Structures are given as structure tokens and as C-alpha cells.
Amino acid sequence: MAHIKPALVENIRKDIENLNMYNETPGEGITRILFTEQELKARKYIKKRMREVGLEVEEDAIGNIYGTLKGSNPRLSPVWTGSHIDTVPHAGSFDGMTGVVGGIEALRVIKESGLRHERNIQVIVFTSEEPTRFGKGCLGSRAMAGDLTRNGTNYLVDEDGKTLSKVLDELGYNNEQFHLIKKEKGDVYGCVELHIEQGAILERLGKKIGIVTAISAPTDLIIEVEGTQEHAGATPMPVRRDAMAAAAKIIIGIEGMARTSDNPSMVATVGKLDVFPGATNVIPGMVRFTVDMRSDNFKEKEQIINKIEVLSNAIGDIEGVKTSIRIVSHEYPAVADAHIVEVMKGVCDSQRKEYNLMVSGAYHDSMFVSRFAPFSMIFVPSRGGISHHKDEWTDYEDIKSGVDVLAETLLIMSNEKENTERNE
Ligand code: GLV
Ligand code: MN
Ligand code: MN
């Protein structure tokens, strides 16, 4: 294969730093929540960068942004890369941004290397990978997979009571075109997302590249515990129906279920808890909390949901409170495409890079892309495995190294014929 130019560390650094100037919490990590002023500015920045490197820019009816590098045969299905630019509250600088900035740099390198490629290559900014605003993640890729319809946007509500549907309307997205977001099998030739690892496996192994073979899938629950709001001083212990005490027992139980699982990919987190009315001297009348569960085994997640139901009912009986469980999302783990994995292994070998084959514990838009297209991902190391935290760090040299693997992989895929064998 003819030589592809190396990616430039300075481009990557500059774009990540510029992008992260759009931030609601300067000095306290990056907070950039879907369709807020800062997020809209970040979108504008990315579109400008895409145009600067010679990509055609389009946006669909849920705000997924497509930057296209035209191939010599645009009738063939395109090759994709990309990630997200929205964040969790007080996030780091790299989660999502690495794949968007790295994707743009990879396309720039391909273009400027002057190498022939048949398929269009597209870098996608997927709308709201994080569930921060509407409680559900991967909104853009979910809509592509047909799992979020225009009608479904009426049922996603933010903390101010605003629906996603209303927000999209206000921003001028055309709801008549919502159905066009959906992709069918065959529409996309294959997708490779570059992302930081968000764990410490690569660092421990001293390897710079992770090749993802599967993504562990999340299940999100909201549990409500209803007790009786009463005076904290005047209500004796035996007659209380304390929603908080009952919730705490359920939470400890859930943590124990994940801890005692034989499957190391099984994890459970209660990360958000609302206590009503939320006063020092009032017994809580109602508590609502989230449960985020992940596993590479769908069946095991089902079993844990059943166990949580049994536990909540039992604690409800003992504590005299009412409990209810709502399943917000319940996703299937995604298996990477064996052929793309092989291509990436070959690219790493030719670039003399040691790689590690690994399962992603975090979820990514690629999980939904897997429903309609073959995928894999490239991971680059996270210092100390820290992520979803302001101290998240990946060396820019390591990102550059990942972009070099990405660029060559995309180039190879973009010249492949349609009938390459796939593990359907
Ligand atoms: C994605 O950010 C996740 O929570 O895995
Ligand atoms: Mn994240
Ligand atoms: Mn991410």
C-alpha cells in the first residue's frame, strides 16, 4: 500500500483544546450538555473544522453531523468513523472528543496523502451519547438504529420539563425528515470509532492500542420508593415509613448482586438520588434513584432485574413503603466485526504497534451502529483509568498513534469490495 502521511499531534491538541473552551464549568472539568449554548457553539466549531479540511457537512433531523470525504465511487456504501462532543457533568477533555477530532484528522491525512479511495469516508458527530440531559444515552445513534422515533422524542423530558421534541423544534430541526435518520443494513459499509479506553488495562499492559471485540451493554432503571413524610423529631422509630432508609437497603442489595456475580463485566452503579422533600429535619417521603448496570451477558442482566424486583418488594413489606421500578433502557451487548478486527490487527502490525484485544465496559454509539453496520473500535490509553472526571487524561502522542491506525484502517476499508466476508 502507498504511504499514508502521519497524523499531526498539534492538530489534535489544538482542536481538543479549542473545543473544550465551550464549557459551562471552567476550572471544574468540562460540562457540555446537549443543545445548550456551549454545546451549540462546539457544534459550530466542529462544522467549521470539517469544512476547513475539505469535508462536506450535513446534519440530520436529530443533529447528527456528517462530514464527508468524497471517494471516487460515492455510489458504494460509505465507511464511518466518529464519536460525540457532549459530556457528563464535570467531565474530562477526551471522552468522545478524541474520536471526533481524531476522525477529522484521519480524514485530513487521507485527503492530503492523495491516495485513491473508492468509498466516501464520513466522520460523524453522534447527538448526545451521554444521557446527561434526557436520561437516555446515544440519542443520535439510537435514532439511526430505529430505536428512537420522532414520536419517542415526545417522551424524553429534561429536568425543566422540556421534551426533546420541543427542543428540536425550537432549534429548527425538520421533524418531517426524522424518518430519514434511520439506517438499514447495507447503508454503511463499516464503522470504526476511536475512543479513550476509560479503564487502565492498556496502561497496565504498557500497550498503546486497544482493539475492541465487544461492547458491554447498559441497562438503566429508575426506582421510586414512597414512604411517609413526617417530623424527624416527633416520629418514633417503630412507626416510621422512611423512604430513604428503605432506598439505602435496596441500594446496598443491588451493589451486592453485582459484587457477587461470577462475571467480571457485571457492574452496577447508583449514581443519582433525589430525596423529597430533602430537608434535615424531615423524614423523606419519597426517594428516586437511578441504577446503571452493565454486562456482556444480556441474560444475566435480566436475572438481576428480577432479583432487584424481589428485593424491593421484600424491603417494601418490611419498611412499610411502596416501591416501583421503571426500565429506562435495556440494551444488547454488541459484538465487533471479525473482518474489521483483522484489518486493524494487520494495520497495527504494519505500524509496529502492540495491541490488546478487549471488551469495552463503557458503552458507545458503536453499540447502536452495530445494529445496522459492522463495527469495531480503537482504544487509546487513559492515564490511571480515570474517566467521567476532570482529571481524565490521554497523552496527545497516544491519540496521534490511534489516529494513524484509524486512518490506515479507514483507507483500506474504503477500497474494499462489497462482498468481503462478514460475521453477521
Ligand atoms: C458512556 O459514557 C458510558 O457511560 O459508558
Ligand atoms: Mn462518557
Ligand atoms: Mn464516550
Q: What is the CATH number of the domain that holds 155?
A: 3.40.630.10
CA 126 – CA 364 distance, rounded (Å): 10
Nearest to 51 by CA among 107, 113, 116: 107
326 lies in the same domain as 337: no
What count of other Cβ atoms lies within 10 Å of the Cβ of residue 58? 13
What count of other Cβ atoms lies within 10 Å of the Cβ of residue 344? 26
172 lies in the same domain as 311: no
The residue-averaged pLDDT of 188-198 equals: 98
Residues contacting residue 135 through CB under 8 Å, at least 6 positions apart: 156, 220, 222, 290, 328
Per the model's pLDDT, the better-predicted residue between 421 and 248 turns out to be 248
Residues in contact with ligand 1 by the CB-under-6-Å rule are 130, 362-363
Amino acid, single-letter form, for residue 105: E
Among residues 330, 358, 383, the one where a domain terminates is 330
Does residue 2 form part of some domain? Answer: no
338 lies in the same domain as 303: no
Rounded to 5°, the CA angle 105-109-114 comes to 155
Rounded to 5°, the CA angle 328-175-157 comes to 30
Note the pLDDT of residue 3: 87
Which ligand has the nearest atom to the CA of 97? Answer: 3
Note the pLDDT of residue 419: 55
Does residue 4 form part of some domain? Answer: no
The residue-averaged pLDDT of 150-165 equals: 97
337 lies in the same domain as 396: yes
CA of 312 to the centre of ligand 2 (A): 29
CA 217 – CA 359 distance, rounded (Å): 11
The 3-state secondary structure of the chain, one letter per residue? CCCCCCCCHHHHHHHHHHHCCCCCCCCCCECCCCCCHHHHHHHHHHHHHHHHCCCEEEECCCCCEEEEECCCCCCCCCEEEEECCCCCCCECCCCCHHHHHHHHHHHHHHHHHCCCCCCCEEEEECCCCCCCCCCCCCHHHHHHCCCCCCHHHHCCECCCCCEHHHHHHHCCCCHHHHHHHCCCCCCCCEEEEEEECCCCHHHHHCCCEEEEEEECEEEEEEEEEECCCEECCCCCHHHCCCHHHHHHHHHHHHHHHHHCCCCCCCEEECCCEEEECCCCCEECCEEEEEEEEEECCHHHHHHHHHHHHHHHHHHHHHHCCEEEEEEEEECCCEECCHHHHHHHHHHHHHCCCCEEEEEECCCCHHHHHCCCCCEEEEEECCHHHCCCCCCCCCCHHHHHHHHHHHHHHHHHHHCCCCCCCCCC
Note the pLDDT of residue 95: 98
CA of 292 to the centre of ligand 1 (A): 10
What count of other Cβ atoms lies within 10 Å of the Cβ of residue 313? 13
Does residue 54 form part of some domain? Answer: yes
pLDDT digits over 356-411, tens only? 999 999 999 999 999 999 999 999 999 999 999 999 999 999 999 999 999 999 99
391 lies in the same domain as 261: no
Which ligand has the nearest atom to the CA of 379? Answer: 3
CA of 232 to the centre of ligand 2 (A): 39
56 lies in the same domain as 141: yes
Please tell me the residue having the least CA distance from ligand 1 atom 2: 130
Whether 418 has a pLDDT exceeding 80, the answer reads no
The 3-state secondary structure of 168-223, one letter per residue? HHHCCCCHHHHHHHCCCCCCCCEEEEEEECCCCHHHHHCCCEEEEEEECEEEEEEE
Does residue 1 form part of some domain? Answer: no
159 lies in the same domain as 287: no
Among residues 276, 311, 330, the one where a domain terminates is 330
Does residue 119 form part of some domain? Answer: yes
170 lies in the same domain as 41: yes
pLDDT digits over 265-323, tens only? 999 999 999 999 999 999 999 999 999 999 999 999 999 999 999 999 999 999 999 99
- Portion of the chain with pLDDT greater than 70, in percent: 98
Does residue 3 form part of some domain? Answer: no
48 lies in the same domain as 63: yes
325 lies in the same domain as 342: no
What count of other Cβ atoms lies within 10 Å of the Cβ of residue 54? 14
Amino acid, single-letter form, for residue 272: K
| 279, burial (CB in 10 Å: exposed 0-12, middle 13-18, buried 19+) | exposed
pLDDT digits over 65-119, tens only? 999 999 999 999 999 999 999 999 999 999 999 999 999 999 999 999 999 999 9
Please tell me the residue having the least CA distance from ligand 1 atom 5: 362
Among residues 330, 357, 374, the one where a domain terminates is 330
> In testing the pocket of ligand 1, which one of 197, 265, 290, 388 has its CB within 8 Å of the most ligand atoms?
388
117 lies in the same domain as 251: no
Residues contacting residue 128 through CB under 8 Å, at least 6 positions apart: 34, 84, 86, 134, 137, 138, 139, 140
Q: Which three cell numbers stand for residue 80?
A: 464511518
Domain count, the chain: 2
Atom of ligand 1 nearest to the CA of 364: 1
pLDDT digits over 209-218, tens only? 999 999 999 9
What average pLDDT is seen over the chain? 96
Whether 424 has a pLDDT exceeding 50, the answer reads no
The residue-averaged pLDDT of 140-146 equals: 98
Range of the domain at 226: 217-330
Does residue 304 form part of some domain? Answer: yes
CA 81 – CA 373 distance, rounded (Å): 12
Name the residue with cell 418514633.
236
The residue-averaged pLDDT of 236-264 equals: 97
Rounded to 5°, the CA angle 390-90-245 comes to 115
Q: 6 near 404, Cβ under 8 Å? A: yes
Atom of ligand 1 nearest to the CA of 198: 5
63 lies in the same domain as 172: yes
CA of 370 to the centre of ligand 1 (A): 16
Which ligand has the nearest atom to the CA of 388? Answer: 2
CA 140 – CA 144 distance, rounded (Å): 6
Whether 422 has a pLDDT exceeding 70, the answer reads no
Does residue 103 form part of some domain? Answer: yes
Half-sphere exposure of residue 203, counting CA atoms within 13 Å on the CB side? 14
Q: Tell me the C-alpha to C-alpha distance, in Å, between residue 86 and each of 14, 67, 105, 138, 170.
A: 18, 17, 19, 10, 19
- Portion of the chain with pLDDT greater than 90, in percent: 97
> In testing the pocket of ligand 1, which one of 364, 382, 392 has its CB within 8 Å of the most ligand atoms?
364
pLDDT digits over 28-39, tens only? 999 999 999 999
| CATH assignment at residue 296 | 3.30.70.360
CA of 348 to the centre of ligand 1 (A): 26
